[in-house]
Amino acid sequence: MSKIHIPEIMAPAGDSASYLAAVAAGADAIYVGLKHFSARMQATNFSISELAQLASLGRDRGTKTYVAMNTMVKPNDVESAGRLIDRLQKTVKPFALIVQDLAMLELAKQVGYSGELHLSTLANLSHPSGFDVAKKLGVKRIVIPRELNLDEVKMMADACPKDLDLEIFVHGALCHCVSGRCYWSSYLGGKSGLRGRCVQPCRRLYTQQKQDAQRLFSCTDLSLDVLTKPLLSMPKVTAWKIEGRKKGPHYVYYTVRAYQMLRDNPQDAQAKKAAQELLEQALGRPSSHSLFLPQRPFQPIRPGEETGSGRLVGEIKRDQKKLFFQPREPLNPGDVIRVGYEDLPGHRTLYIRRRVPKRGRMDIPFSKKPENNRIPVGTKIFLVDRREPELTKQIKELEGELALFPAPTSKESTFTPTWPKTASRAKVRPENIIVSHTLPKGRVHGKSAFWLERSTLSKLARALVNRSQWWLPPVIWPDEDKKIRSLIKEAVKKGAREFVLNAPWQAGFFEDRKNVTLVAGPFCNASNRLTLKIMKDLGCSSAIISPELPAEDIFDLAKNPPIPLGFVVKGLWPFGIARFLAESVRYEEPIKSPMHEVMFVRKHGQNNWLYPGWELDLTEEYKNLDRAGFKSFITMKEEWPRDVPRPKRTSTFNWKLKLL
């Protein structure tokens, strides 16, 4: 093994008690969210004044504070986001900001923020060619995707340039879809994962064919535990991150201590065993190594098993009219239990007020909400947090120390962004563009566009290659980097001139832009003028904005954009894009949700695209969008699966909603 370096252990904190638990455990860094612009809005999160005190205590103990402002920024959010960064800079002085939206990078620069800028995994920088683009935008660290295996992490680390570092998730929840490439929650009701509001539809029960309902998309947690040893020989991987800003102090303390042991004692078998025992006590979900070992990838989805967080401690029983359970282990005051699952009857969280001995009896209190009392016999009870006396004592002592760090007076910010110039409004006839994975059958009524794939490129005549747009994939993995670069060169040689980027970092594939035109695609998630300005600086002549935005935001964005805009008006917009899939899920066949919504899965390259069983259709808004100045209208064309019933409905996505 080459020289061992010491990566920092990054702890999550969703409230003050968890922050102090991380300090007590000796975490090197703690990442938190504010009441706004946090991708974990379900966590308690922090006010500026509260965080200022905690960050001061952290600095005194040698613990860095990172603030996650990692949501998509809507058109009317820009000024408030800038003012919040300004107040953070003056009051909290965080060591780093973790961001998803490019606008946050620009706002931090305009405010004069002096800390580091880290790129969230939601930004989806997943391949080496994007590193230089991020570095030029002022990024110091990149949080790499959770789907990478060890060989791919090494590939990223070996390619990482000077003055840029990597951060890797070592423990915590896994989303089914790739971060930044999930629109599932948003598509089903306006609760956007990109805005920190995900309602986790992947955790629900689904059916395919005549099978019983199962959790076909619900992942176990990631736990690299003893597999972290090879990361110690990768100096560019400077931080090990623990997911869990919605978890309690017990989880935070135990996971931090476990990964400290694994980092500091890589050759000690006893330390490894002790660390694994601590992780078992942390009350997370069932866990796996997921795809991390390339020679032994583990499927992180077990449809027939439960994947709720916490440790199973009992099941609901009924005695006459009373519901109760008998715990498998003692429960103490301060412990927190969860009854059942969020999508099942009677789900709720309860706090233990008195000690309940092992095999003793605990009655479930009557709820004022009638639906909470309809708990089926056999419903499982989980211990999700607990307050051991020793940890509680340490937290209390640290709370006492907070008085030594009085909260500074938080002044309102008067910051106003510097806006980019508006693009010229020359009146041109809008283009209708049809993008497809397959060759067209019959006449195409509009401009052809194709996903960049060798099978398509090799079959098209040179004249059609030249006239068509070429769309890069929304997710490019490290081992695909050279292949995409080669495909682009082949396409240009064959006459291709217009390419659509579906992540800002894909601009790194185009060092020589003399003979090409770049367009920012809808998966760039551009949703405000500052982000559009950065896409322009990266070489894009226009941008296709995501259809996730509601009408009011779309028209606001169209008033004064720095580059011409396009919009996805029709076709199969995906719920999300995933790298793994349960073995029991069949491609191209209908899958039904508890609400009888139909979906299907189709494989494109290494990725699984999850599609709703009905199309997006905003063609009735064509005239309004045309009047607003949109220059191109996109149809995402997919062949309809033979076994999936044709729908009687379409969707307007969030057009008529208010995206929170």
> Could you tell me the strand order of the sheet in which 362-363 lies?
317-319, 322-325, 362-363
Instruction: Output the CA–CA distances (angstroms, integers) from residue 198 to 65, 180, 578, in the order listed.
Output: 25, 12, 16
Q: How far is CA 271 from CA 71, 239, 287, 351, 557, in A?
A: 38, 20, 20, 33, 55
Provide φ and ψ at 136, rounded to 5°: -65, -25
Containing 311, the helix (H) or strand (E) segment is strand 311-315
Residue 583 predicted with pLDDT over 70:
yes
Asked if the domains 8-172+220-289 and 431-572+613-651 are classified in one and the same CATH topology, the answer is yes
Q: Which residues pair with 240 in a beta bridge?
A: 9, 168
Q: Which pLDDT value is given to residue 389?
A: 86
pLDDT of amino acid 442? 65
**Cβ partners under 8 Å of residue 154, min gap 6:** 230, 234
Q: Distance between CA 637 and CA 645 in Å, rounded?
A: 17
Cα gap 497→516, rounded to integer Å? 5
> What are the extents of the domains in the chain?
8-172+220-289, 311-383, 431-572+613-651
pLDDT digits (tens, 9 = 90+) for 588-604: 999 999 888 999 999 99
What gap in Å lies between CA 33 and CA 20, rounded to an integer?
A: 15
The DSSP code for 516 is -
**Predicted confidence (pLDDT) per residue in 341-394, tens digit:** 877 788 888 999 999 999 999 999 888 887 778 889 999 999 998 878 899 999
pLDDT in tens, 215-266: 999 999 999 999 999 999 999 999 999 999 989 999 999 999 999 999 999 9
For 566, the 3-state DSSP assignment is strand
Integer Rg of the chain from CA: 25
Neighbour count for residue 330 (Cβ, 10 Å): 13
Choose the weakest-confidence range: 295-299, 471-475, 557-561.
295-299
Residue closest to 145 by CA, chosen among 243, 254, 3: 243
Helix (H, G, I), strand (E, B) or coil at 284: coil
| Residue 543 structure tokens | 């941008």
* DSSP-assigned beta bridge partners for residue 571: 616, 636
Q: What's the CATH superfamily of 431-572+613-651?
A: Aldolase class I (3.20.20.70)
- pTM of full prediction above 0.75: yes
- pLDDT higher than threshold 50 for residue 1: no
| Residue located via tokens 């791919």 | 152
∠ Cα 551 625 554 (to 5°) = 30
Pairing, β 336-339 against β 348-351: antiparallel
Largest CA distance in the chain: 80
Name the burial class of residue 135, with classes exposed (0-12), middle (13-18) and buried (19+) by CB atoms within 10 angstroms of its CB: middle
* pLDDT band with cut points at 50, 70 and 90 for residue 3: low
The burial of 324, by beta-carbon neighbours within 10 Å (0-12 exposed, 13-18 middle, 19 or more buried), is given as middle
2 pLDDT more than 60: no
**Predicted pLDDT at 42:** 65
Contact in structure between 186 and 74 (CB atoms under 8 Å): no
Residue with tokens 């076994």: 643
Sign of CA dihedral 369, 371, 373, 378: negative
Q: Name the helix (H) or strand (E) containing 20.
A: helix 16-25
In the numeric block, which tokens belong to residue 82? 């800038």
C-alpha to C-alpha distance for 274 and 251, rounded to whole angstroms: 16
How many residues make up the chain in this entry?
A: 660
Q: What is the DSSP string of 318-381?
A: EETTEEEE--SS-B-TT-EEEES-TTSTT-EEEE--S-B-TT--EEPPPPSSGGGG-PPTT-EE
Q: Confirm or reject CATH 2.70.150.10 for domain 8-172+220-289, answering yes or no.
A: no
Quick check: 143 pLDDT over 60?
yes
Beta-carbon-side half-sphere exposure of residue 362 (alpha carbons within 13 Å): 27
CA distance 412 to 641: 55
CA distance 286 to 92: 36
pLDDT digits (tens, 9 = 90+) for 169-194: 999 999 999 999 999 999 998 899 99
Counting residues of the chain whose pLDDT is more than 70, the rounded percentage is 98
> Residues 268, 204: contact at Cβ < 8 Å?
no
531-543: per-residue pLDDT in tens?
Answer: 999 999 999 999 9
CB 225 within 8 A of CB 258: yes
- Look at residue 369 in the predicted model and tell me its pLDDT: 80
Using N-to-C axis directions, what is the helix angle for 249-264 and 16-25, rounded to 10°?
20
Residue 192 CA neighbour count, 13 Å, CB half: 24
Residue 498, both tokens: 């217009």
For residue 602, the number of C-alpha atoms closer than 13 Å in the C-beta half-sphere is 18
In whole angstroms, give the CA distance from residue 276 to residue 97: 31
Q: Is the pLDDT of residue 619 over 90?
A: yes
| Cα–Cα distance, 45 to 51 (Å, whole number) | 9
Q: Are 23 and 11 in contact (CB under 8 A)?
A: no
Beta strands in 572-619 (DSSP E): 576-578, 591-592, 598-604, 607-612, 615-617
